[in-house]
Amino acid sequence: MTAQPATPTVSSATGPTTGRPAPVADWITIPELYTDPFPSFERLRAEGGVHWVPAIGRYLITSYDAVHDTELDQETFSANEQGSLMIRAMGHSMLRKDDPEHHIERRAWQPALKPSAIKRTWHAMFERTARRCLADFQAKGPGADLVWDFAAPYAAESLRAVTGLHNVTSADLQR
């Protein structure tokens, strides 16, 4: 587990940078995030959009405005995380790059995910997946959870299909 410095120090391609302090949400536990994260997310949003969460060794960003602001501040909130498990496991993909390197790779795949391309290419697959996930959700009955029993499998299966990860299951992606 990584402890947060006095001010957020986030690694970037050019080295560590320091920004303003982020509140520490040391009251969050991993079991409660698995059980029901929404009360924690509500509290985090009420207290401000960016928090350091020691239990997971990560910042949680919980509001649209905070996501927008951190996305524009790549110096403080760099995607180029040093020591990233993702980089070690998959190589330095665009998910762990900032602009301008990220923009170069994004330009290559962006046309395939424009609304017209999605409608033409992916709409039928998304609809089939939604119908299958909805049937599974309904079969679980009154105790079914909308997020865990419908939304998460739907998102994972859609991601699996779009990315071509046919050698994994949607459960693998959800984990």
pLDDT tens track for 2-26? 334 434 443 333 333 445 578 899 9
Two tokens, residue 128: 């089939």
pLDDT of 142 above 90: yes
Task: Please state whether the predicted TM-score (pTM) of the whole model is above 0.85.
Answer: no
- Report domain extents, the chain: 9-78, 114-174
Using CA atoms, how far apart are residues 172 and 169, in angstroms rounded to an integer? 5
Q: Which of 5-9, 25-29, 61-65 is the least confident region?
A: 5-9
Per-residue pLDDT, averaged over 86-95, amounts to 77
SS3 of residue 16 by DSSP:
strand
CB-facing half-sphere around the CA of 99: CA atoms within 13 A: 7
